[in-house]
Amino acid sequence: MLRHLYLNEAFERKYFIQFPTRPKGMSSESSSDLEELDVNLKEFARKRQSRLGIVRTGQHQSGPVSHVGDIPNELEYDTLLRCAMMVLKKGKDLGESTRIKLPLDVKREARKTSINIAEISRILNRSADHLVSFLCNELMTTGSINKDGKLLLKGMFIRSEIQEVLRRYIEHFVVCKICESVEDTDIVRDKRLYFLKCSKCGGARCVGNAVEGITTKGKAKPQLRGML
């Protein structure tokens, strides 16, 4: 019997004949049970792969290839990208429509310069005293508010000088650096520091340990030139 087995193995190696083998762990009894139940393992695997959306390389399908967990149209990349672009465009248009204009009125009276400070502080929703302190520190002069709400600065200043100082004030104490909102910001005190908080985006940044004006260097951003 052993001699017969050796002859069969030698015959297979010589003519490269491979006979189907049972899967590891499967006995002859289990294979016969599958045959009796009429279970086609290849067909079962093919259906399972098609149900999970698994496509083998080398196979071509006439229709679109399905993926695991089909994504609805609302979550497709192109749809989300279009929605994001629409939101950005809407926010840009809204920001341009809500840009405020300051009616700056600068006049010379004798050796002084008058500015409609009460109207400007009301539009910016800031304290007039704070704005006056900032202007005086930046222009290195003194001034006071009369009964008509005009700021009288000691000295003669041209309109462009006042505009540049007001732009720096708006950039530091009014505009939110995150969403660039102008009308939704306010200065609040937290212990010994002052913060500019935005109610639109929830952002906050420190603007110093005192509300007095600060001496800044350089020019304001070009985006603020349309406000004055």
Query: Average per-residue pLDDT in the chain?
Result: 72
Whether pLDDT at 223 is above 60: no
Per-residue pLDDT reduced to its tens digit, 112-133: 999 999 999 998 888 888 899 9
User: Is residue 28 very low, low, confident or very high in pLDDT (cuts 50, 70, 90)?
Assistant: low
Residue 94: both structure tokens together: 């809204």
Per-residue pLDDT reduced to its tens digit, 47-99: 777 776 655 544 444 444 444 456 777 778 888 888 888 877 766 555 554 56
Tell me what pLDDT residue 73 has: 78
Q: Is residue 200 part of a domain?
A: yes
Q: Is residue 9 part of a domain?
A: no
Q: Is residue 217 part of a domain?
A: yes
Q: Is residue 133 part of a domain?
A: yes
Q: What is the pTM of this model?
A: 0.53
Tell me what pLDDT residue 113 has: 92
- The range of the structural domain enclosing residue 138 comes to 106-227
Q: Is residue 48 part of a domain?
A: no
Q: Is residue 216 part of a domain?
A: yes
Tell me what pLDDT residue 77 has: 85
Q: For the chain, how many structural domains are there in total? A: 1
Q: Is residue 182 part of a domain?
A: yes
Whether pLDDT at 226 is above 80: no
Query: CATH code at 201?
Result: 3.30.30.170
Q: C-alpha angle 128/126/170, rounded to 5°?
A: 105
Whether pLDDT at 189 is above 80: yes
Q: Is residue 145 part of a domain?
A: yes
